[in-house]
């Protein structure tokens, strides 16, 4: 009986822990403004994962609103694939006309069955050329996730979130995270949003409004 109780306690302790953790993060030294009129949360995944991504966008939006920011989800604001086949100037004009002056991305870099991660050609550095501007990052990631063989169906997820200002097209923050065996899309969205927002507050990228 004692062994059963110990096992139950262990199971509860594991299930009560978050499955999402930050593996690395970076912030710019040029952050001077913590106030934004409207923050857009936009994700990049294949169509098969779109339902889960919608939950993640919604939860991250909710966490930003809890801080006092005016935040919106890309799928709700513009619909899926809203910026496809648009030039850089068109994308920026679309965002600015909607009052958006900052963007937070959610990108599923990879997912694997094995507990160890083999990076392959995936590049995690936030200093790469394609990440310096939102449109370059959008184009690169939107192309990458539709390349054959990008996904391996399983339960360990590797994410990246970048934070950009639209007026200056500047990358201010980047974080890479892993999510291991999330219970469901709702749980994953909740954990991911809290993890990213808490780290951004900790690093003085965002602040309570």
Query: When comparing pLDDT for 191 and 154, which is higher?
Result: 191
Among residues 168, 186, 165, the alpha carbon closest in space to that of 62 is found at 186
Cβ-based neighbour number of residue 108 at 10 Å: 22
Residue with more model confidence, 51 or 113: 51
On the question of pLDDT at 116 being above 50, the answer is no
Length of the chain: 209
Residue with more model confidence, 185 or 123: 185
pLDDT tier, 112 (very low <50, low <70, confident <90, very high otherwise): confident
Domain architecture of the chain: domains with CATH: 19-202 (3.30.160)
Sequence-ordered list of residues with C-beta below 8 angstroms from that of 206, at least 6 positions apart, any chain: 34, 64, 67, 69, 197, 200
Q: Which residues face 112 on adjacent strands?
A: 156
**Gap between the Cα atoms of 160 and 166, Å rounded:** 19
Model's pTM, two decimal places? 0.72
Contact 69, 209 (CB under 8 A): yes
Residue 83 confidence class, pLDDT cut points 50, 70, 90: confident
Query: If you search the block for the tokens 């935040």, which residue do you land on?
Result: 71
Closest CA to 177 of 11, 21, 1: 21
The answer on pLDDT for 10 being more than 60 is no
């Amino acid at each position: 009986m004692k062994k059963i109780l110990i096992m139950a306690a262990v199971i509860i302790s594991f299930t009560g822990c978050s499955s999402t953790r930050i593996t690395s993060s970076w912030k710019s030294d040029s952050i001077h403004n913590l106030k934004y009129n409207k923050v857009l949360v936009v994700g990049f995944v294949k169509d098969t994962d779109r339902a889960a991504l919608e939950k993640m966008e919604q939860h991250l939006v909710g966490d930003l609103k809890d801080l006092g920011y005016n935040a919106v989800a890309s799928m709700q604001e513009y619909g899926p694939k809203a910026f496809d086949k648009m030039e850089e100037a068109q994308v920026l004009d679309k965002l600015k006309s909607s009052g958006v002056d900052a963007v937070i991305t959610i990108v599923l870099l990879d997912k694997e069955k094995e507990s160890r991660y083999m990076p392959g050609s995936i590049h995690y550095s936030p200093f790469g050329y394609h990440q310096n501007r939102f449109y370059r990052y959008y184009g690169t990631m939107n192309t990458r996730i539709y390349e054959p063989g990008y996904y391996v169906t399983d339960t360990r997820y590797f994410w990246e979130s970048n934070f950009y200002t639209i007026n200056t097209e500047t990358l201010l923050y980047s974080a890479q995270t892993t999510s291991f065996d999330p219970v469901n899309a709702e749980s994953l969205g909740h954990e991911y949003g809290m993890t990213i927002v808490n780290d951004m507050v900790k690093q003085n990228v965002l602040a309570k409004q």
